[in-house]
Amino acid sequence: MTQDTIIRTQGATKIYNPTLPDEMVALDNVSVTIHQGQATVLKGPSGSGKTSLLSIIGCMSRPTAGKVIVKDRDVAKLPERYLTHIRRKIFGFIFQQFNLIRDISVQENVALPLYPADAGFAEIRKRVHTMLDSFGILSKRKLKVKKLSGGEQQRVAIARALINEPEIIIADEPTAHLDRELAADLLNILAGLVREGKTVIIATHDPLIFEHPFVDSTIAMRNGKIEPQPEEQ
């Protein structure tokens, strides 16, 4: 493993509903390497296995077979409890459909990842305020999420992903529900995170993203497999 490798999969396979009639091989023997501090894009048509790969990389689920090595530790067979812990400590997620709790306030949404951690109320408030301020939505902190515009909701979602200061940010089709302008905003934010030294992994089939200059490497997927890429060594 090279010095700057942060995540590596080795022969990762994900089979949904194994042995059942609707068995589905979503990932077939996938080996990829994600480098620390880089922006990596997973591209491929819908159904090619991008979300499945992000899930096992982000410790949201476990591969049916193979290894998933996150920061030198194989997480493929870890019990659920440890996976939760890793998610909390290392990952921040930006989901395609924001996945905010729409009926509670902006600040509570952003604070939620900190609830199971050690932080006290005062510290949480401070961190949430700073974070919301940096996204220019501090004044909206008491509003319910459903009262916000799409762009504002997106910022709340990003703020929530970053509140626990993750090393790795995972974004699944983050621009799918955004207009071009908001998508550009988002890419600027992601580019900024990479500049700060964070590792960013994005699944998308939006050319706007994988043609963006901040993207360091692209992994193409098809039918649950990695397609050989000329520019990858």
Partner 1 sequence: MIRRLKILEHALSSLLRRKYKNLAIIVVYSFTIMLLASILFLTHSLKIEAGNILLDAPELIIQKTMAGRHDLIPVEYADVIRKNWGIGKITPRYWGYYYDAFTHSNFTVLGSDTPLPILKMLEGTAPSRPGECLIGEGVAAVRQIGIGDELILINSEGLGVIFDVVGKFTASSDILTNDLIVLGEADTMDFLGFPPGKATDITVEVLNPKEVQNIAGKIKRDLPDTRPITKQEIIRTYDAVFNWRSGMMLTIFSSALVAFCILAWDKATGISGEEKNEIGILKAIGWDTSDILELKFWEGIVISLTAFLTGLLAAYVHVFYFGATILAPVIKGWSVLFPPFKLIPFVNLYQVFIIGFLTVVPYVASTIIPSWKAAITDPESVMRG
Ligand X SMILES: Nc1ncnc2c1ncn2[C@@H]1O[C@H](COP(=O)(O)OP(=O)(O)O)[C@@H](O)[C@H]1O
Is residue 36 within the footprint of Mg ion (CB under 5 A)?
no
Structure tokens at 202: 């994005």
Among residues 95, 76, 109, 78, which one has the least CA distance to residue 169? 95
**Closer CB to ligand X, residue 1 or residue 20?**
20
**Closer CB to ligand X, residue 51 or residue 64?**
51
Instruction: State the DSSP string of 200-220.
Output: EEEEE--HHHHTSTT--EEEE
Least separation in angstroms between residue 51's CB and Mg ion is: 3
Contact footprint for ligand X (CB under 6 A): 16-17, 24, 26, 44, 46-52
Is residue 38 within the footprint of Mg ion (CB under 5 A)?
no
What residue 10 binds from partner 1, ligand X, Mg ion, none (CB within 5 to 8 A, per partner kind)? none
**Residue in 10, 51, 61, 105 binding Mg ion, rule: CB under 5 A:** 51
Cα 28 to Cα 108: distance, rounded to the nearest angstrom: 39
Is residue 68 within the footprint of partner 1 (CB under 8 A)?
no
Q: How far is CA 91 from CA 58, 135, 156, 166, in A?
A: 7, 19, 16, 5
Three-state SS at 168: strand
What residue 48 binds from Mg ion, ligand X, partner 1, none (CB within 5 to 8 A, per partner kind)? ligand X
Per-residue x/- marks for partner 1, 27-66, CB under 8 A? ------------------------x--xx----xxx----
Cα 93 to Cα 124: distance, rounded to the nearest angstrom: 19
What residue 88 binds from partner 1, Mg ion, ligand X, none (CB within 5 to 8 A, per partner kind)? partner 1
Q: Are 126 and 204 in contact (CB under 8 A)?
A: no
Q: Are 167 and 90 in contact (CB under 8 A)?
A: yes
**Residue in 6, 7, 124, 189 binding partner 1, rule: CB under 8 A:** 124
Q: Which residues contact Mg ion by CB under 5 A?
A: 51
